[in-house]
Structure 1
Amino acid sequence: MSKTLLYGATKIDETNAAYAAVASLEQFQWKNRVFIVIADRDNSRAARQENQLLADRAALEERDMVILKLAGSSIKLLFGSGDGLDGEALRQELDMPDTGEFAAFLLGKDGTVKLKASEPITSGELFAIIDGMPVHAGETVRHDK
Structure 2
Amino acid sequence: MSKTLLYGAIKIDETNSAYAPVESLAAFQWKNRVFILFADKDNARAARQENQLLSDRAALDERDIVILKVSAGKVRPLFGAADGLDGEAICHDLDGPEAGEFAAFLLGKDGTVKLKVSEPITSGELFAIIDSMPMRAAETLKPDK
Measured against the shorter chain, the TM-score band is: 0.7 to 0.9
Unaligned runs of 5+ in 2: none
Structure 1 segments, 4+ long, off by >2 Å, are 1-6, 11-17
**Are 2:54 and 1:54 equivalent residues in the alignment?**
yes
1:104 is displaced (CA, Å) by 0.2
Q: Residue 11 and residue 127 in structure 1: after superposition, are their counterparts in 2 closer, same or farther (change >3 A)? A: farther
1:83 is displaced (CA, Å) by 1.5
Code of the aligned partner of 2:140? V
Matched with 1:67 is 67
Q: Residue 47 and residue 61 in structure 1: after superposition, are their counterparts in 2 closer, same or farther (change >3 A)? A: same
**Are 2:104 and 1:104 equivalent residues in the alignment?**
yes
Distance 1:110 1:69 in 2: 20
1:140 is displaced (CA, Å) by 2.0
Residues 82-121 of structure 1: pairs in structure 2 closer than 5 A:
82-121=82-121
1:95 is displaced (CA, Å) by 1.2
| Aligned residues between the structures | 139
1:127 is displaced (CA, Å) by 0.3
SS at match of 2:48: helix
SS at match of 1:135: helix
Q: Residue 38 of structure 1 contacts residue 101 of structure 1 at CA under 8 Å; is this kept in 2?
A: yes
Post-superposition Cα deviations, 1:39-75, rounded to whole Å, max 9, x if no partner, equal 0000000000000000000000000000000012011
Matched with 1:135 is 135
Unaligned runs of 5+ in 1: none
Post-superposition Cα deviations, 1:99-118, rounded to whole Å, max 9, x if no partner, equal 11100000000000000000
SS at match of 1:141: helix
**TM-score normalised by structure 1 residue count:** 0.88
Between the aligned residues of both structures, percent identity stands at: 68
**TM-score normalised by structure 2 residue count:** 0.88
Distance 2:63 2:77 in 1: 17
Q: Residue 128 and residue 19 in structure 1: after superposition, are their counterparts in 2 closer, same or farther (change >3 A)? A: same
Distance 1:4 1:25 in 2: 22
1:88 is displaced (CA, Å) by 1.1
Q: Residue 54 and residue 61 in structure 1: after superposition, are their counterparts in 2 closer, same or farther (change >3 A)? A: same
Matched with 1:20 is 20
**Are 2:15 and 1:44 equivalent residues in the alignment?**
no
Post-superposition Cα deviations, 1:72-106, rounded to whole Å, max 9, x if no partner, equal 20110000012211111111111111111100000
